[in-house]
Each structure stands twice: as C-alpha cells, then as structure tokens.
Structure 1
Amino acid sequence: MAKIESDIVETGKPAEKMHGFLSNFNNFESLMPEQITNWQSTEDKCTFTIKGMATIGMRIAEKTPHSKIHIVSDGKVPFEFTLDVLLTEIDANNCKGQLLMNADVNPFMAAMVTGPLRNFLNLLVKKMKEVPV
C-alpha cells in the first residue's frame, strides 16, 4: 500500500462551499489538468483517461459535512485506491485543502507511481483556489 499526500493549500474559500462543490463529480472536470481526456461524470461517479496511461473510475463513498469526502476506485482500474478530500476550516471565509491517496500497489509499483501521483494530487489541490464558489 502506498500512501500519497498532496501539499496543504489555503483555498481562500469557505469550507462549506468548497465541500458542496467538491461533493459533485460534475464539478471536478474544471480541476483536471490537460492530460486528462474522456471525462464522464454523474454527481457521485466519474471516469477519465490519463493520456498515454490508464482509464480511472471513481465513486464518492462517504461525505462528512464541510470536512471530508471519501472517494473509492470504481470499475476497471489499474489498482484499487481510496482518495480523501480533507478540508479544514480556518475561518468563515477560508479553509485548507489536502488530498490523501492510499493506492493498493506492490513496493515496486509504488516506487514508480508515487511521484507522478503526488504531482497529480498537487495539481488538483492547487486548483482548489480557483473553484468558483
């Protein structure tokens, strides 16, 4: 199991509004970098392709109001994983955001995927500052 953590970023947005936005996969497409193609989503499921790599499916499994969204891998994926969106309120108009991924990969694969996945998570968490809420 590989545990991958993004940076912690101040969003400049209220935790309640960030949670509402990120609780709907239809909103996630705007956070994705250009190497993501074939985006398809409903409110609680999505699939996409990472250019030159794999197709990924995800499903929102659990929501803790204003603080956490627990996402699990869904469908045919190269490896099972969980992804937690963590929001920590700073004040009424600002929160911190972080992404935590647990990927079920062997140590050899972990060495290969940890860097690229951390970069991907950091891209997503930095885009939280741009969320239109």
Structure 2
Amino acid sequence: MNLESPKISVSKSPEHVFDFLSDVKNFESLMPENISKFEVLSEDSFVFALKGMPEIILKKKEVVPPNKIVLGAAGGKIDFSLICNITKLNETSSEVQLQFSGDFNPMMAMMIKGPISKFIETLATSIPKAI
C-alpha cells in the first residue's frame, strides 16, 4: 500500500527543512491532537501512539541530504516506511511531500488506509507551522 500526502510549500530552504526533519524530537510538534504518547528513544528513533492505536516505533533508515529522509518501523508486526521528500523551489523555499509505504494484507489495508492518509496529511500540513 502506497499513500502520499499533498505537496506542502514551506518558506524555508531545503537544507533548513531537512535539518528540522532530521531531528526526531521535532516530530512531536507535527503530531495530531489525538496523540497519547511521544518519546524520543535515541537520536534516530522515537515511539508514538495515537488514542486507540498501538504504539509505533520509528527509526531513521536512510538519509539523503537535503532531499530525503526515510523513517521505518522498528520492531512490531508491521513493516512500513515513512518517506519525507524535500524539493527545492528556490533558495528560500521548498516543497515537502510525505509518502507512506507498507506491505499489508487487503483487509488490514482497507482498515488503515483512511487513518494513515489523515495522519500523513496532518504531519505534512504541520511542517510549515512548526519550522
């Protein structure tokens, strides 16, 4: 299953956006209001939970400055990735798009498609306000 957030314009350079998203503690400021837990585990991993959902541990898997950061599930029963793509528009602005990629059975995919789509859209639209 592959989902994409809308492309979000940010009035910051790609390097600035990349530096912000590279620091996992900054993801707390992007989380939706229904977050019930957020904890930084190390400099490249964190755990979070939304109300009514299980805890999810995300860990930095790949970093390509200043254009891409890949966070992946660390442990748990489901394997998925959250990819942050940063595109330079000019010296002082960039565009960010989040992609969610996971291998789920059709029943699970049907159940989580809506909540995951809303979640990555919330993360993406929070970036300009948080930086």
Under TM normalisation by the shorter chain, which class is it?
over 0.9
Q: Is the 8 A contact 1:23 1:43 kept in 2?
A: no
Following superposition, the deviation at residue 24 of structure 1 comes to 1.1
Distance in 2 separating the partners of 1:119 and 1:33: 9
Distance in 1 separating the partners of 2:69 and 2:51: 26
Match of residue 54 from structure 1: 54
Match of residue 119 from structure 1: 118
- For 2:118, the aligned partner's letter is N
Match of residue 37 from structure 2: 38
- For 1:43, the aligned partner's letter is E
Distance in 2 separating the partners of 1:87 and 1:131: 16
Match of residue 70 from structure 1: 70
- For 1:66, the aligned partner's letter is P
Normalising to structure 2: TM-score of the pair?
A: 0.94
Q: Is the 8 A contact 1:66 1:87 kept in 2?
A: yes
Q: CA RMSD in A?
A: 1.1
Following superposition, the deviation at residue 43 of structure 1 comes to 2.2
Gaps of at least 5 residues in structure 1 are none
Distance in 1 separating the partners of 2:130 and 2:12: 8
- For 2:47, the aligned partner's letter is T
- For 1:64, the aligned partner's letter is V
Match of residue 24 from structure 1: 23
Distance in 1 separating the partners of 2:15 and 2:50: 30
Distance in 2 separating the partners of 1:61 and 1:106: 23
* Structure 1 residue runs of 4 or more that deviate by more than 6 Å after TM superposition: none
Distance in 1 separating the partners of 2:34 and 2:19: 26
Match of residue 106 from structure 1: 105
Normalising to structure 1: TM-score of the pair?
A: 0.93
- For 2:119, the aligned partner's letter is F
Does residue 9 in structure 1 map to residue 8 in structure 2?
yes
Number of residue equivalences: 130
